[in-house]
Structure 1
Amino acid sequence: MSRRLARETALQVLFQRDLTKEPFIIAEEIQRWAKEFVVPEPSKDFAQELVEGTIAHQEQIDQTIASFAQDWTINRMAKVDRNVMRLATYEILFRSDIPGRVSLNEAIELAKRFGGEESAKFVNGILDRIVESAVKAEQKGADVSSKATSNP
């Protein structure tokens, strides 16, 4: 399974959703984008988990990103950057099977590939603080997701 291809597929679906604001069936959109990227079946399943999880927790994810993005609102961010960070923040806060630093590094690669010239630095700056907060919360035994949303 290629998790990178799955993340690329998930990003495309999240970006499309953010751009069009139209409802769609996630599984159908995963299939459509996976066909374009030639994504193997196990990676499609992972992409679907990522999209569904990100959408299900989007309000909390956006609050977390906003709390760590000094002088930036979610709506002011480039759509690619915003969705790369949503995807990575979902992984960091809600996927204990994926180390935070892995999610951070994958997000930087996605930002380099799909974002603008400064996207990787921007994404890294915010996500690094989210990962640090999550690690501290985990060390203290706190609920990582609630800890991250309460930390500026």
Structure 2
Amino acid sequence: MTPVSETPATPTVAKSAGSRRISRELVLRALYQWQLNDSSLAVLVAQAEAADIHGRANVAHFEALLAGVLKHVAELDEALAPMLDREIAALSPIEHGVLLLGCYELIYQPDVPYRVVLNEAVDLTKRYGGTDGHKYINGVLDKLAHAVRQAEVGAGRSAR
């Protein structure tokens, strides 16, 4: 797969990196709800607006990420499947949500460094996932980064 940027990774509203982190957290919460209830994008956005952290989020970033993930779920699952040691259906909703978000950013937002994608995914999993789930998420997304961002990963290794 070739990374293709279809939604702006950096919305026109300038906000801090912390607001982008909060946006990712809102996306994870929304994806969790989506997996349990199959809610529409509009319902998920409305639920996020009621969240305690919504005011500190970069809303444009949140909406772009969530819409992008939901639009490409089948493709993202297809990209993730060979990287997994189990069926996607066996993943917890948190693991699946974090992997969908990380996969989307790796493929569709090449201006976000792959290490940032991995670190954000690990942090979300440490906060919301199982005890050692972050290790699994890191391993899966690292394999995916090697597959879809070969030049960036290779350049990072040579710089060490």
Structure ranking higher on relative contact order (CA contacts 8 Å, 6+ apart):
2
Deviations 1:24-78 (A, max 9, x none): 2x244224324323323761111111111001111110011111113x1100011
Deviations 1:61-101 (A, max 9, x none): 0011111113x110001110011000010000011221111
| Alignment of structure 1 residues 62-101 onto 2, 5 Å | 62-70=77-85, 72-101=86-115
Amino acid of the residue matched to residue 76 of structure 2? I
Normalized per residue, the structure richer in helix is 1
Equivalences, count: 137
Where 1:36 maps in the other structure, the secondary structure is coil
Structure 1 unaligned residues grouped into runs of 5+: 140-152
| Alignment of structure 1 residues 103-122 onto 2, 5 Å | 103-122=117-136
Rate the CA distance shift 1:55–1:122 in 2: closer, same or farther, 3 A.
same
Structure 2 unaligned residues grouped into runs of 5+: 1-14, 154-160
Q: 2:61 aligns with which of 46, 59, 81?
A: 46
TM-score (norm 1): 0.81
Rate the CA distance shift 1:102–1:38 in 2: closer, same or farther, 3 A.
same
Identity, % of aligned positions: 29
Residue matched to 2:143 = 129
Report the Cα distance in structure 2 between the residues aligned to 1:132 and 1:90, rounded to whole angstroms: 15
Report the Cα distance in structure 1 between the residues aligned to 2:43 and 2:91, rounded to whole angstroms: 27
Where 2:54 maps in the other structure, the secondary structure is coil
